[in-house]
Chain A
Amino acid sequence: MSWKIWSLKKSVWVFHVNTGACNNCDIEIVNLLTPRYDVERFGIKLVGSPRHADALLVTGVVTAQAAPRLRELYRQTSKPCVVFAMGACACQTGIFNGAYHVVGPVDKIIREVDPNAIIAYVPGCPPKPEAMISGVVKALSIL
């Protein structure tokens, strides 16, 4: 294990990106950070800039307006980084599949920038906070 991966897994700093979510996943993410689940005790911390982050937490189907911004955010995130696609929309466009404003699921947009990106999927509408924690643990344990 390289020291970069070791330090990434030690304490994951997360930048939250909303690329057109209905806010339901975002509410569940707030739930993760508040005292009931309090993921900060595992070292998972929300930061204000992608340059400080080890992981991008993406919610929502990627709209035409948000796609260039998501690409730029991925470019600015320090590597190596993990992209978490949270919720049915981010994983596979969900109920918005084929709508006029949708350009694709999160993984398609990220792979345009970096074909070897590490992407973890947590499906659900919205996923339960337990499912999100489990997704993060699984993703980090196979790195």
Chain B
Amino acid sequence: MNQEELNNRLSEIKDKLINIEQTKDSRIFLLCEAENSFAVSKFLFEDLALRFMIATGIDSEDCFEILYHFSNDGTGCVVTVKAFIRDRENPSIESITPFIPAAEWIEREIYDILGIEIKNHPNMRRLILADDWPEGVYPLRKDFKR
């Protein structure tokens, strides 16, 4: 799939997105609310056959962001789904592990160190912090004090 086809296919899901930002030829950001991220990721993975690379969790003061990075290996273009989680008290997002098994560990890691609940994850346990780490303390949040 070349760049032009990719851009055309991406416009099919415009109604689920807030905006499409293209910073350069090989970098596209799809901004969406957390409720739509499942459908957008599923479209990229199953309909466009992009490769899931990794996910990133960010605490950006007023909301949490989860970035799912997909690669179009034919052109080297990276498509990032940027999902905003507005609820800071009980942040949650739909798991993409049911159709992308490779996302299991990174979603567990995001749950562990950012405290974002991943809904419908098949194996939701802590992954990375020490065994005696206290519950409810999330080290990568901005308000974390050592």
A interface with B by C-beta (< 8 Å): 63-65, 98, 100-101
Contact = CB atoms under 8 A, between A and B. Distances in A.
- Chain B's interface size range is under 10
B146 A65 contact: no
A101 B130 contact: yes
Contact of B132 (A64, A98, A100): A64
Contact of B144 (A64, A65, A100): A100
Contacts of A100: 139, 144, 146
A55 B39 CA distance: 56
B16 to A, nearest CB: 36
Contacts of B131: 65
Nearest to B131: A65
B13 interface: no
Q: Secondary structure of the B side of the interface?
A: loop
A121 B133 CA distance: 30
A63 B129 CA distance: 10
Nearest to A100: B139
13 contacts: A63-B130, A64-B130, A64-B132, A64-B133, A65-B130, A65-B131, A98-B146, A100-B139, A100-B144, A100-B146, A101-B129, A101-B130, A101-B139
Contacts of B144: 100
Contacts of B130: 63-65, 101
A64 B129 CA distance: 9
Contacts of A65: 130-131
Nearest to A67: B130
Nearest to B140: A100
A64 B133 CA distance: 9
A101 B144 CA distance: 12
A63 B130 CA distance: 8
Interface string B116-130: 000000000000011
A104 B12 CA distance: 53
A49 B63 CA distance: 49
B146 to A, nearest CB: 6
Nearest to A63: B130
